[in-house]
Structures are given as C-alpha cells and as structure tokens.
Amino acid sequence: MERRNMLGLVVVTTLMFCSLSDSSRLFNNPERRNLIANGLAATPAMGWNSWNHFYCGHNETTIRETADALVSTGLSKLGYIYVNIDDCWGEIARDDDGNLVAHKTKYPSGIKALADYVHGKGLKLGIYSDAGYFTCSQTQPGSLGHEEQDAKTFASWHVDYLKYDNCDNGGIKPTVRYPIMARALMKAGRPIYFSLCEWGDMQPALWGNQVGNSWRTTDDITDNWITMLARADVNEKYADYARPGGWNDPDMLEVGNGGMKKSEYIVHFSLWAISKAPLIIGCDVRHMTEDTKEILSNAEVIAVDQDPLGIQGKKVRAEGSLEVWAGPLSGYRVAVVLVNRGRRRRAITALWEDIGLHPSMAVEARDLWEHKTLEGHFVGELTATVDMHSCKMYVLKPIG
C-alpha cells in the first residue's frame, strides 16, 4: 500500500519548468502580491453554474427559475448562494463604445435587471468571461485587452462573481493575462469573487492565491466515474496551496446530470467536500430527483467543505482500488473518506498514524451519509466494508 503523510508537503517540480520559475519570480515581487485581496472566499464558494447541464442553452428565464429553485428547495439556506451564468450570455460583438452587451433575445432585460432579481432572493449573481479575444464558444468577445472596461461593466451590473476562462488567448501566458483582470476587479468598486478557469495550464495553485479566490487545477470535468476521479486526483496534488481566501478547484459538480450512479455521485460529493473544493452545482435544480437533492443537501458533508480551519484533505493511503482520504477539521476533529474504486465489496482501514491522530487516541465516529454516530469508541484505526464504486465518510472526534 502506498503511504503518504497527511501533514507532509506536496513536492511540486516547479523548477523543472522555466516558465513556472518566471512566474514564481513575478509573484514573489512584493509589489505584485495580494492582487485580489477582496475579503471573499473565507470558505469555498457554493452555488450553481449553467454550463454542465445547459451549455449554451440558457436564458433569462433559466436563471430566474434557478434562483427561485435554490430558495424553494432550501439549497440557498445550506450555502448555495451564487447563481452563475456561463458562456453564451452575450452578443457576438461589443457595442460602439466597446462595451460587452447581453444577448438581446436570451437576456432582453439585461444583466443588471437579472442581478437585481437574484439579489432580491438573497442570492448573488455570477458572470462569465475569458482571458482571451473570444470566449470558448466563440459566440462573444473575451476580455483580453478590455479588462478594466469589462470589470467596470460587471461592477455596474452588480455582478458578484466572475468565472474567467482561458480560450483564444493569443499564446500569452496565463501568468501575464490573469493578474491584469485581478487588478481591474480590485479597481472596479465592487467586491467580485474571481474564479480562474485556467485548466491547470501553468499549475495555478503555485500562484493563484495572489491573483484569484479559486483556480482550476484540472481540465474540464465530464459526467462519468473515471473522469471525475481523475479530476480529484490531479487536484489533490496541490492540497498544500489551498487556504481561506483561495481554493483549488477540480471543476464543477456533475451530481444529478445522469451519467453516474447514486453511489458514484456520493463519492464525487464526498471527495469535493474533503478537498475543500468550491461546491458549484451543475444540474438543473428546477427538476432534481430526490436522490440528487439528498446528496446536494447533506449538511454534514457540506460542513466539512466549509470548515473554518480551511485545510484541504489528502489521499493518505492507496492500495490498488482502495483509498483513504483524510483532512483535519476545527475542534481537533478529522474528516475521513474511505473510497472503493474497484468492482467488488472490500474492507478499508484508516490508521490513526496516517490521518494525523496519536495511535492511542480514542475517538467517536460520525457517519455523515448514514447520519449516525457509530457505537463505541475507536482507538488506533477504523475499518469499514465499502461497496464497489462507493465510499464511507466520517468525522472523528477525540474523546475528552
């Protein structure tokens, strides 16, 4: 079994890449630091985004009804407050003054009116742009070369969140393009959460906390078991770089989109939570199944993601298809996820020495998916039998 110390530093081969060395020197310059010190993202963002389910098929009605559904289902009370419009919301060209313009058919009332509606529900509105000349869909202009103008536009519309993509970038490094928008947002006169959707191009975990509130560590997620796990694995390598104010982002949630079984979606949600990932729903919340609502509404799992200690969990043991993920929580507690990636039921053991507890420590174990505290106390280890493509998730609390 491969063993890794949960508290050890992740070794990143930064100096192997000249370009990354250049970016390190750039961001170690004191004058370059804290470009996005906006006071946001004390915990990972929670909300919804249009892309995973609707792609370009969203409109003003979609967004309004989604805001309504976040409230009526109780998801907003659990922390899902961002309603984020992804690509394809704008016209193909800017207006005569160079301003971005909302699509006249899809968003006839304009983004400001939509923001007012969303704010009236106690929620926040997010928008999408690109650190290139056009967005990834090629349906609207990007913000490269227009950063200050666009940041002011977003602020004037009362936007609260910007997802900033990486297409059609002219070959200019993201370490050059993304800080420009960070500075522009800070001068725009409104706190705007800055989500760097750079796809892990130049290991944004190494420099993202000086530029954004979260940064994509991976390529796009798709709604299947293998890709979801691959995104979790890549993201886990950068665990030591996450902290309050800036988070690693393995991409948005696929829970509820239909490509995985319920047990696989539970693994998905559990790994995102222990990884302190932004919890951005990607399904149609207006028409959720009960299983989908149950997963997304698990307040105990959400609490792990939102724990104020803000330390990302890691994969501390791996034996073939059997894994132990763990991370410290506030109050001297530890979150543990036992994952069975294989095709038959297996027992998995979490050893205290691997998860940061003293071997003689006695704990009580709370099962976060069964919503029950296990009988008795546990010392030294915890073993559970886990079904194929499933997981168990616990919070371990020291006794006394």
Structure confidence at residue 36 (pLDDT): 85
Burial class (CB in 10 A: 0-12, 13-18, 19+), 233: middle
Residue 179's contacts (CB-CB under 8 Å, 6 or more residues apart) are 32, 35, 211
Which pLDDT belongs to residue 27? Answer: 45
CA distance 110 to 102: 6
The pLDDT of residue 34: 65
Task: List, run by run, the mean pLDDT of 10-residue segments along the chain (400 residues).
Answer: 42 31 44 75 98 98 98 98 98 98 98 98 98 97 98 98 98 98 97 98 96 98 98 98 98 98 99 99 98 98 98 97 98 98 98 97 98 98 98 96
Question: Which positions ≥6 away from 303 have C-beta within 8 Å?
Answer: none
Q: Are 303 and 368 in contact (CB under 8 A)?
A: no
**Active-site amino acid positions:** 165, 220
pLDDT at residue 33, rounded to an integer: 55
Amino acid at 74: G
| CA separation for the pair 282, 291 (Å, rounded) | 15
**pTM as predicted:** 0.92
**Tokens of residue 85, six digits:** 């419009």
Q: What is the pLDDT of residue 25?
A: 45
